[in-house]
Structure 1
């Protein structure tokens, strides 16, 4: 392949993204400079945080500019290197963006072990798995006998959180979208109970059902979604409960319909003396080697289960991304090139 392809941001979405917000571009494969490598990408990750990067707002990371390549992590083979520690043929990962090839600074890339399937470093052994491991330990602070509720529980972050908590002796409750995902939550990932948030008309009805499966209240709520699920869970939190805030996917397209309920929700934080901890995993990469020393053997042995949804071809990125934001994936959403 003599040309590279990349998907750029054609316009900023208004609400949910649509295919017309993206554009496929073709050009020459780039040449590395000193301290850089070129990766020929084999697999790309799709993650909810990418929706926020499409908006021109101040955040923890820069927005994607119009005409720029969509941001994201990829894995693949090094095809050119002007950096120590990287040889042609090495398996490597970095923030390649939505592209078939990418220049990555050596300081922002990592050589990966060839004996482990590369897609795992985009899911269970990559940012999602590391996010779950870090957030639960640092901000969830689980104790045996406690109750944990996880939103988006069959996604790559939620599934890892549930399994790590279960191994630590907690009662684990999944909230997912649809009966099939609830079945997977209990049968594959070992949650003690699972609720289909789509089956309940409003937060009050979901809260009633959740109270039945969490009779001792909720000690840890892993926040992935916001919206109705957050509204349902907050009043059930025990005093001193912890809420690691990982994402708010239900509000990524706008929060107007939730504004009038936010004061009531925030009052629960006060009266329950809750510990609400927003965290960005990029602040914790120094602990990634510790994660790799502990978790891969558990994933490879099957002790920790994982699922992948794989779309084919770079052209499939926008469609798969749009579907993922609406809950269309079951496991980690990956695109194979």
Structure 2
């Protein structure tokens, strides 16, 4: 599941609409919060219906003039229940249809006034104390969280961020691991981190594999934030590779024959694919049992043969001829397999170059 937020500074401009929709589609975002829309509820509804057909939406336009927060989502992937709509935040319960995960998401757009933002902190404290689910709080807080969050401009005093810091500390919120822009707002003279994606202890306890990317601001002065949330790490599976050394094993032909003799019903293509899948599984098992770490195995077999020969020389008759022949045959087989493995890898490297 992917969740985005962006202070777009006006959704009524066509270039920004195009940029926003492209961002959502290119990154496969499932829920998106747009801040400072600068439009009314009719225009916002029309925008969603035109640009993102079948998507659902909510907003806080009835609570504050000027359209501060609009949120839309794809109902194919997620189910959304609106919990609270306030002047500076909207809270949703979001259920992912793919992973069955349920989280609470609060999209924030803080007022410019330090005094007026205090109602936002009060709202977050109330919401946070009332929920037990994993909770994500994201958006434009219009406040830094420390003096290090601003470069140039007037000096940041503790008074400027103490209310925000107290709220975050009380709720146990922490920033998601992030990439991209360090400072999320700039007027090309001052840089500041005003936009954040934070989560509570319940989120961390759920062991979601989540992170956020703060992208270049593009047509706005704020960076879009795109949070990726997965129930488990996205591990790229290694592609299957056939190793010629497998053919040297005495059971190789039997393994291939057994996979090819499996009774499969269906089209010729389906039969072929099914048998190849079975063969792939059996070859992986063969590799793990006899050829994994082949270079080390070959060296160990060679060392075992030499050690037995030395001991046999010191005490003739200590080992039977069959035992010594078995060690020799194993060493030869593994050395040949190791040589084949090295040659095949060198050939692959050469072909890539």
Q: TM-score, normalised by structure 1?
A: 0.26
**Structure 1 or 2: larger helix share?**
2
Determine which structure has greater relative contact order: mean sequence separation of CA pairs < 8 Å that are 6+ residues apart, divided by chain length: 1
Q: TM-score, normalised by structure 2?
A: 0.25
